[in-house]
Structure 1
Amino acid sequence: MDNPTISIEKEIQKSYLEYSLSVIIGRAIPDVRDGLKPVHRRILFAQYELGNSYTRPYKKSARVVGDVIGKYHPHGDSAVYDALVRMAQSFSMRDPLVDGQGNFGSIDGDAAAAMRYTEARMSRLAGEFLADIDKKTVDFRPNYDNSLQEPVVLPTKVPNLLLNGSSGIAVGMATNIPPHNLGELVDALLEQLANPSCSVDDLLRHVKGPDFPTGGSLYAGQGLLDAYRTGRGTVKIRGKVEIEKRKRDMEAIVITEIPFALNKSSLVEKIAQLVQDKRIDGVSDLRDESDRKGIRIVLDLKKGAIPDIIVNSLYKYTPLETSFGYNMMAVVGNRPQLLNLKDILRHFLEHRSEVIIRRTRFDLEKSEARAHILEGLRVALDNIDEVVAIIRGSKTPQDAKDALRERFGLSDPQSQAILDMRLQRLTGLEHEKLIEEYNELLKAIEYFKSILEHDGVLRGVIEEELVKLKETFATPRQTEIVQDDLCGIDIEDLIPDKEVVITLSQRGYVKRTNLEHYAQQKRGGKGVFGVHTSDGDFILNFLVTSNHQNLILFTNNGRMYRMKVHQIPEGSRTAKGVHINNLLPLGRDEFVTCALTLRDFLPERYFLFVTRKGMVKRTEVDQYANCRSTGIIAVNIREDDELLQVTEVGKNDEAVLVTAAGFSIRFACQDVRPMGRGTAGVKGIALRGGDRVVAAVVADAQETRDILCVSGGGYGKRTAYDLYRLQSRGGKGIITMRTTPKTGQLLGAVMVEPNDEIILMTSENKVIRIPVDGIRKVGRATQGVRLVSMAEGAQVAGFDLVRENQIDGVEPQDADTLPDED
């Protein structure tokens, strides 16, 4: 008969699929129930069969390994010994499952001694993995040669998949689960047991994050939430560093904890190489003083070195800060699945329920069988004379058994138990013990049946075991959880605190430029024309500050965002910059209206908020010190209103609000009582119908400068500050400039000096620079003078103030003087 034709493509696919499944389930991916891979499960079961528990003497590791590979795991002895060694390493396992004696390796990467030299036994915690395994709590399967039986899974009481974590690479998939704290896991299990419909976020109130045996700090941001909600995510881990003071004003940096799975000796070598290459400067000596008490890597610093800069360099250039990528893959029902936190805990609770039900059935059957025997013995003791007579009168034991069964209605086991009963059981004391044992069995039977019949009782048993597990084995958390959304290196100390210029255009383009670029071209002040803007755009904010300052940005809807000045992308003097939407998570129809810089949020200073509808609010600056990356509400804004301006003010400052219709009001800032952050403020000026606030000028009571007002029709006027009388806030105010259809409504107002200049941009993209002393100084209730001639229908788009006399290519022009109009 001819051999059938076989498709090589199909055969390879079938073979590779079988191989993949074997690697995934039989080698690399742990079971969700006991959190163990087959090799670890076989090591623990082999030790259990050897009687190698924590209450017994140690046995040679070679003996354990021999049993594992001879009975259950037909692989190389080195692979099994490596797995056993890792189970005993306190720096690899959060709670070791093997109690090792001898050299089991070190955190420096030193290998363990040969298995003939080391000894091992199960740890006390490992005993909880095999509790009740002799009560038919789990299924068994044949070993590789069908000569023995091995457990499919262990009946563990410990949520080991999360407790000790797991890592492995299979075919086409991998798993990477960090270790956790047992106490936190038990609390989460109790939460899910009491409230099965709870969410992952509810469980995260108990499980704060990973708990690595090597300690360190973990930055809990969005990556951690994603990991627990979806099964995948990335978190940042940092080692812990301390600054020690030495003699003669010398200092030293001491590394006391390192990230999980990091080789300490390789870290020291990396630091030494960086010091030698001058990438980390200021270190005079490096040594490893670690011992059995803990890790201690010492960096002696040179005199004058700044420790924070060196610490930040260590985090940036060495594995002292590293990432841990969650990939919570586990085998569920012989299939690999990506699981979130709730899924893992749910599968463990289901496993515990099944184990307890099977254990209870076993105990119930055993108790009922024993109670059945005791019932027969009670019958015999109650009729002892007749029983003795029947036995004495029988020729054979079988005749005696048959006679007892027929006379008293006993079963075969009961009759046999009576025949096997010793004479000492006939005493009164033994009789009482038998009755007491029978009554206890009846109570136990009732209890076992209640577990099987009522879910509430079953949950109570699980809860009791979990609480006992926590009380016995839980230890304090070793990894510190740091709540930080950025989760990155703070390199501010590595950036020189140079003076820079921040420009923000009306359309939202922002950039950072070194102040030196302006100084080299003798461009003082704001240098508006040193910036390339698109048609119709102009500079809204121009700030001279330094890299380490806080840049505070306020939007039209009252939100505040904060970032460091050095986080603004740097651009050349003529660059357009980047759009602010690339840096901030602004909402739809949200734009920046005001920018400030602060180094410190001091409580004696205040922010004065002014809205288009004339609302004002004064709030202490320190209330805004904590700002999330998504921003915070700085002031509550009504739907028909928007934030106009925010200014930092002192206790003695005054404010002048100017409206589009030409009215103004001057009041003391102290008239606005300090309020909380989430408030709307109070009325600053009572607006007439359709009017709106266009500017807020802040000055002290002794101000000697003038207020310059500019209208959309190209008119302007300069008025002495003291002509604006001090009023109470909330009034309708007084005239600051008479507006007509010819002048148009006011665009804004600024405080000026005679040697200042203003630059106006028109809707025709025409730019004109005017010296302030060329604008006549007049009274309040006047129309002002023409500042720029424009075509019909054109308007002034915006204006800005310049403190010096030379701006690129724009010659000063005199304003067209018109008669004042009262």
Structure 2
Amino acid sequence: MARRTTTPPTDEDFEERIVDIDVSAEMRTSFLEYAYSVIYQRALPDARDGLKPVQRRILYSMSEMGLRPDRGHVKSSRVVGDVMGKLHPHGDTAIYDALVRMAQPFSMRLPLIDGHGNFGSPDDLPAAMRYTEARLAAAAMAMVQSIDEDTVDFKPNYDGQETEPTVMPSAFPNLLVNGATGIAVGMATNMAPHNLVEVVAAARHLIKKPDATLDDLMRFIPGPDLPTGGTIIGLDGIRDAYAKGRGTFRMRAKCSVEQVSPRRKGIIVTELPFNVGPERVVTKIRELVTAKKLQGISDLKDLSDRHKGLNLVIEIKNGFIPEAVLEELYRLTPMEETFGINNVALVDGQPRTLGLRELLQVYVDHRLDVVRRRSAYRRRKREDRLHLVEGLIIALLNIDEVIQVIRSSDDSSQARERLMEVFELSEIQAAYILDTPLRRLTRFDKLELDGEKETLENEIAELTAILSSEDKLRKVVSDELAQVSKTFGTPRRTVLLESSGITRNASVPLEVADDPCLVLFSSTGLLARTTDASPLAGEGDRSAHDVLVSVVNSTVRGEVGVVTNQGRMIRVQVVDLPTLPPSANPPSLSGGHPVSEHVTLNPGETVVGIGSLDPDGPGLALGTAQGVVKRVVPDYPANRDDFEVIGLKDGDTVVGAVELTAEDHDLVFITSEAQLLRYPAVNVRPQGRPAGGMAGVRLDGGATVIWFGVVDPARESRVVTIAGSSTALPGTQIGGAKISDYAEYPAKGRATGGVRVQRFLKGEDVLLLAWAGPAPARAVSTVGKPVPLPEELGRRDGSGVRLTHTVAAVGGALGASGGEPAAGKPAPSEQ
């Protein structure tokens, strides 16, 4: 066996070929080639159909795959694979991203892909292509319509094995309707979407009047129509963009101020600017609120769903003007964004910046060329068919001779030549006759052929008329655009405004002014505030109005404390309370809020009055059921919403809490035994909050305090008492009432027993209700209706007069001094 030997390589075999080139020239050439590829093959749309190459290839491939709207969806990965394998060699991610965008209704004004599955949201990415499905939308069929009728040119694909269209026939101005976004090398495009109906109307006007001006066209297209709706503020930038191809405009969310809860207003956001998602807005608002750069927002909820659409609820704190807060949201958050129009598109293979008229003109010219080529193609096809039909008719008229010629011929070639010679047929006609089955050569087929010939001749005449007349050609294009507009048109979504509807200036403050006001608490448990701190007259009609338990001077942005029978004071924001109309005299609390809407009470806990939280304000005077009195030093904790104002003994409760505006006013106790004790407030030393108070009135066994308050001895005041039986069911007794002059009762010392205020009649052994305060006295029922009281003044220790209705509370006239006594309510044993 021969042994094979190898010769080792020499240095000459490894010698490299080095070519000297200029680096700057190579860089310039390479960069220009790269830039050219990006501009023409990826980033910029064609001005005729408004599609980038990848979008055009997706639509064409799906059309070739038969993914029409009447067919089922297929996996998106199958579409991506077909596009990448045949036409687009730039990777599956780029193809799928383009497919997703064409399926998103918030990205495209008229989506071209009908997607099935998770195609994302303005805040979230879509699912992977293996999870989603797609097919062509109905609008996409209008884009590819007539593509097989020689309407557009085709070119080889990247490997020369397939062909692809250089442009789509595009039955509607897709570039203006759906807009475009792309970043190339050294240039970019950012085109806003528009309303199909408006764009088609402008295009038809331009077809009818080729010399139409920009102002003429803007009568049809006043501005963009964004997929997400919203509001466009300021139209000057839009006109600049339509004239020169570049301009800016501001987009705002669509908002409304509504009552979101019984006590608060809110801003409801139903539409956002283009390309802004709700999560982005929510995150930004929360950041600003946390950083204290945005005030007035108490809560933010995203209640969006598939059925109602976008629904952001921004709850506004009481005391803040919602319109002013909305203006701050526009200024600080993505609820207002700027859109910069840059209409750069490819025209005849060159990037150009186009205005509105140029964009429409390019499309109109393209559509005229498409319809012209389509008409020429259809006429050519019909002429070819007419030529064959005429040959068949000749054969039918001479059927016997034709059969004889064919039978006497040696082969098909000789038969074709003899038919051409005998009947003066063309080669195509003769070949078609030979290929036609004998069953087609009947008398009935002759009638069909005559009808087909007539139809073909008419269609050829119509197509010839279109091709020979520019006016008819334009009319066909215009009519087809009108049909597309009727089929796919939708109402405008975006509102156009010349300027902002809200102007932020000194006259529109962010917060409600901290004006003086009066806070009112009624016997039926309603809280409200007045519009100012003017005196309450106390005279006038009190129909449909309950009496006031407490009246406190405050300001709109101030605070008051609600005092309960368990000795707690609960902080309440005055601005949260409803405002009573200034015309009410005295004010009607029918529009007030139940106190339970503002404070949380324990089981069995009730509100007995309200007081100011101002450390420099009047102190609070308290009286309890066991006869304890306390003046509270107004040193309340600023960092707590509720706190104790008196240390109560077991079984004791607070029966009255009133502001003490002057130390020469009287502290007054009225007991269930019909005893009244009054003494100057100076006799009681103020104490801190934890203190339990001191003895206020001496009680006999079983007696309790049913009313405690403050009375100005310098004013004309009255004492009202109502007696009844302690064995009767609560709320069932009408009782006997007595009104006496407060001046008849002498002042006594603190912790004494006082003097008799009413003499009990037969069947009466307890006071059901008592009150002392400025005249005149008034009584109301449990529903706040007035109840007549005896008019005459009884003796100090006299008996009462039987009433006509049950009394729930008693009150008197209210002046400007504040600190008036609380209204009388039933004794604890009778409640």
Fold-level match, TM-score > 0.5?
yes
> What is residue 235 of structure 1 aligned with on the other side?
249
Identify the residue that residue 298 of structure 1 maps to in structure 2: 313
Q: Output the CA distance in 2 between the equivalents of 1:207 and 1:220.
A: 15
- Counterpart in the other structure of 1:557: none
Closer, same or farther: CA 497–66 of 1 in aligned 2, 3 Å:
closer
Relative distance call for 1:498 and 1:417 in structure 2 (3 A) is closer
Alpha-carbon spacing, 1:479–1:103, altered in 2? closer, same or farther (3 Å):
same
Structure-2 residue corresponding to 1:129:
143
Matched, 1:67 2:67: no
Check the 8 A contact 1:220/1:487 in 2, yes or no.
Answer: no
1:141 matches 2:180 = no
Give the corresponding residue for 1:90: 105
Matched, 1:358 2:373: yes
Aligned to 2:345: 330
Inter-partner Cα distance in structure 2 for 1:405 and 1:224: 68
- State the distance in 2 between where 1:61 and 1:195 align: 44
Q: Deviations over 1:401-429 (max 9, x none)?
A: 11111101101111112112222333322
> Does residue 184 in structure 1 map to residue 178 in structure 2?
no
Contact 1:315 1:489 (C-alpha < 8 Å) held by counterparts? no
Structure 1 residues 34 and 197, CA gap change in structure 2 (3 angstroms) = same
C-alpha separation in 1, matches of 2:54 and 2:32: 22
Out of 275, 287, 305, the position equivalent to 2:301 is 287
Q: Deviation at 1:231? A: 0.5
User: Hey, what's the Cα distance between the residues in 2 that align with 1:25 and 1:278?
Assistant: 49
> Residues 54 and 88 of structure 2 are in contact (CA less than 8 Å); yes or no, is this contact kept in structure 1?
yes
Q: Which moved more, 1:392-401 or 1:406-415?
A: 392-401
Q: Is the CA contact (8 Å cut-off) linking 1:236 and 1:488 kept in structure 2?
A: no
Contact 1:312 1:491 in 2 (8 A): no
Structure 2: which amino acid aligns with 1:32? A
Tell me how far apart the structure 2 counterparts of residues 327 and 189 of structure 1 sit (CA, whole Å): 21
Work out which of the residue numbers 279, 293, 309 in structure 1 matches 2:324. 309
* 1:151 and 2:157 matched: no
Pairing 1:388–2:423 present: no
Give 2:277's aligned amino acid: N
Distance across 1 between alignment mates of 2:234 and 2:261: 37
Kindly provide the amino acid, as one letter, of the partner of residue 210 in structure 2: P
Between the aligned partners of 1:261 and 1:13, the Cα distance in structure 2 is 37
1:274 matched residue in structure 2: 288
In structure 2, C-alpha distance between the alignment counterparts of 1:187 and 1:381, rounded to whole Å: 52
The structure number with the bigger radius of gyration is 2
CA deviation after TM superposition for structure 1 residue 497, in Å: 11
- Report how far residue 496 of structure 1 moved: 8.2
1:338-390 deviation line (CA, Å, top 9, x unaligned): 00000000000111111111111211111111111111111111111111211
Matches within 5 A, 1:43-122: 43-107=58-122, 109-122=123-136
**Conserved in 2, the CA contact under 8 Å of 1:34 and 1:159?**
yes
Residue type of the partner of 1:86? R
Shift of 1:2: 9.0
Give the length in aligned residue pairs.
497
Residues 56-97 of structure 1 show CA distances to partners (whole Å, capped at 9, x for unaligned) of 111100000001111111122112111111111111111111
Distance change >3 Å, CA 489–CA 177, structure 1 → 2? farther
Match in the other structure for 2:435: 420
Structure 1 35/172 Cα, relative in aligned 2: closer, same or farther at 3 Å?
A: same
Q: Which amino acid aligns with 1:259?
A: P
Equivalences for residues 271-670 of structure 1 within 5 A: 271-292=285-306, 293-484=308-499, 490-491=504-505, 495=509
2:396 touches 2:442 (CA, 8 Å); kept in 1? no
Q: Aligned pair in 2 of structure 1 residues 305, 496: CA closer, same or farther (>3 Å)?
A: closer
* 1:671-695 residue CA offsets vs partner (Å, 9 max, x unmatched): xxxxxxxxxxxxxxxxxxxxxxxxx
**Distance change in 2, residues 1:489/1:121 (3 Å):** farther
Say yes or no: does 1:258 pair with 2:272: yes
Contact conserved, 2:121 with 2:277, CA < 8 A, in 1? no
Give the Cα–Cα distance (whole angstroms) in 1 for the partners of residues 265 and 51 of structure 2: 47
Question: How much has 1:11 moved relative to structure 2?
Answer: 2.2
CA contact under 8 A between 1:309 and 1:493: conserved in structure 2?
no
Equivalent residues of 2:324, 2:510 under 8 A apart: no
Q: Is contact 1:128–1:158 with CA below 8 Å preserved after alignment? A: yes
1: distance between equivalents of 2:127 and 2:250? 34
Look up the equivalent residue of 1:93 and give its one-letter code. M
**1:161 corresponds to 2:182:** no
Q: Secondary structure at the match of 2:474?
A: helix
Distance 1:493 1:111, change over 3 A: farther
Q: CA 1:52/1:247 → structure 2, altered by over 3 Å: closer, same or farther?
A: closer
SS at match of 1:135: coil
One-letter amino acid of the structure 2 residue matched with residue 193 of structure 1: I
Q: Measure, in 1, the Cα distance between the counterparts of 2:210 and 2:224.
A: 23
The separation in 2 between residues aligned to 1:262 and 1:45, in whole angstroms, is: 31
Q: Which residue of 1 aligns with 2:644?
A: none
Root mean square deviation of aligned Cα? 2.0
How far apart are the structure 1 equivalents of 2:186 and 2:405? 75
One-letter amino acid of the structure 2 residue matched with residue 227 of structure 1: A
User: 8 Å contact 2:319–2:511 — kept in the other structure?
Assistant: no
What is the TM-score when the length of structure 2 is the normalising length?
0.58
Q: How far off is 1:320 after superposition?
A: 0.6
**Contact 1:316/1:489 (<8 A) preserved:** no
C-alpha contact (below 8 Å) 1:140/1:150 kept by paired residues: yes
Decide which of 236, 240, 252 is 1:222's aligned counterpart. Answer: 236
- The SS at the match of 1:235 is strand
Alignment deviations for residues 80-117 of structure 1 (CA, whole Å, 9 cap, x no partner): 1111111111111111111000111112x211111111
Deviation at 1:471, TM superposition (A): 0.6
Residue-by-residue CA offset, 1:220-256 (whole Å, 9 max, x unaligned): 4211110101111110110011111144342111111
Matched residue type, 1:112? P
| Alpha-carbon distance between aligned partners in 1 of 2:489 and 2:63, rounded to the nearest angstrom | 23
Percentage of pairs with the same residue: 46
Secondary structure, in 3 states, of the residue corresponding to 1:133? Answer: coil
Alignment deviations for residues 623-656 of structure 1 (CA, whole Å, 9 cap, x no partner): xxxxxxxxxxxxxxxxxxxxxxxxxxxxxxxxxx
Equivalent residues of 1:209, 1:220 under 8 A apart: no
Question: Residues 245 and 495 from structure 1, CA distance in 2 versus in 1: closer, same or farther, beyond 3 angstroms?
Answer: closer
User: How far off its partner does 1:498 sit?
Assistant: 14
- Displacement, 1:24? 0.9
Mark the runs of 5 or more structure 1 residues left unpaired by the alignment: 500-822
Deviation per residue, 1:100-137 (Å, 9 max, x gap): 00111112x21111111110001000011111111111
